[in-house]
Amino acid sequence: MDATLASLLRAVPKVELHLHIEGTLEPELMLSLARRNGVTSRFTSVEEVRRALDFADLQSFLDLYYEQTQVLRTEQDFFELTEAYLGRAHREGVRHAEVFVDPQSHTSRGVPFADVVRGVSRALEQVGRDQLGMSSRLIMCFLRHLSEDEAFATLEQALDHLPLIHGVGLDSSEVGHPPSAFARVFAAARRQGLWAVAHAGEEGPPAYIWEALELGVRRIDHGVRCLEDEELVERLVRDRVPLTVCPLSNVRLKVFPDLRHHNLGRMLRRGLVVTVNSDDPAYFGGYIGTAFERTVEALDLSAADVVRLTENAIEAAMVDEGRRSELVRELQAARQAVGC
């Protein structure tokens, strides 16, 4: 990678649109919280945890992911988890972050809904906004391996906290759990004024992307299998539906054998509104700066591609036009600073 491209990668204002806050739980913090909260972990060292980060597929990752979340018990735990992510993200140039949280992973074991949402949102405001100058949005995801009735119960719990929640999403085990199973709860969430996004087309088929669009989503999370359906690609391009692609996680979960075979470059060339994100960086080998650098290098992307990916993310962000314009100006300043 030449020096100009490397400088551009460091300088562009990064906008993260696909980030699971529970997926930023680094082994050091996990073990610390386990000790503080009296939670027994099968791991006794950071090295043991890192050796477990070898996944065969999405489900094998989720099994460990949900096991690790057991250490999160209090509002302060969620605050510290989010605070740690924000510090890392800021060092990698993130200027705006849209953070997923999975309340059902916690309320199912007795953690109050309010503690989850308040802990995360307090850090986004006090640390992200006030200390680091980062804007943010909080997206509450429904777990698709659970029922729609359980999703409705979670939406009901959220109603008292809507000033803190900006959107709803759909995550967890994709295969066998189509988006259409959640049509009614997504419609109810949209009536409350919440944005809608959904994971689709990572391990699941292109049909799941079509179903997610029927839910009224503003973005597709992942969506890498869209290239298997030409009519779908045309629809996504025509309507400028953003796709929040996570190359490092796609490789770690065996969606692609390695980064050189990832289809992000082809998606860009087709005119799709693709973006680069880190997904669950504590599990998949890097935060957004690392994801950008490794993807650009593996796919031999150009400076123009980096600019386009950043422009796409700014366009796709849940921000008002004032903040969007600020991010555009920051991108222009970064380009001028490195001479491209």
Closest to 180 measured CA to CA, from 137, 209, 153, 154: 209
Q: How far apart are CA 78 and CA 123, in angstroms?
A: 8
Separation of CA 2 from chain center = 29
Closest to 279 measured CA to CA, from 301, 247, 255: 247
Separation of CA 296 from chain center = 19
Question: Do residues 165 and 124 lie in contact, with contact meaning Cβ atoms separated by under 8 Å?
Answer: no
The residue length of the chain stands at 340
Q: Which amino acid, one-letter code, is at 301? A: L
Task: At 175, list the tokens.
Answer: 């295969």
The three-state secondary structure class of 112 is coil
The partner residues of 220 in beta bridges, in order of sequence, read 198, 243
Going by the DSSP 8-state scheme, the letter that residue 261 receives in this structure is G
Question: Do residues 43 and 302 lie in contact, with contact meaning Cβ atoms separated by under 8 Å?
Answer: no
Task: At 171, list the tokens.
Answer: 């995550």
End-to-end CA distance of the chain: 15
H or E segment to which residue 138 belongs: strand 135-143
Active centre residues (catalytic)? 202
The partner residues of 274 in beta bridges, in order of sequence, read 243
Closest to 134 measured CA to CA, from 103, 165, 169, 92: 92
Q: Which amino acid, one-letter code, is at 81? A: L
Determine the angle formed by the axes of helices 3-11 and 321-338, rounding to 10 degrees.
160
Going by the DSSP 8-state scheme, the letter that residue 215 receives in this structure is T
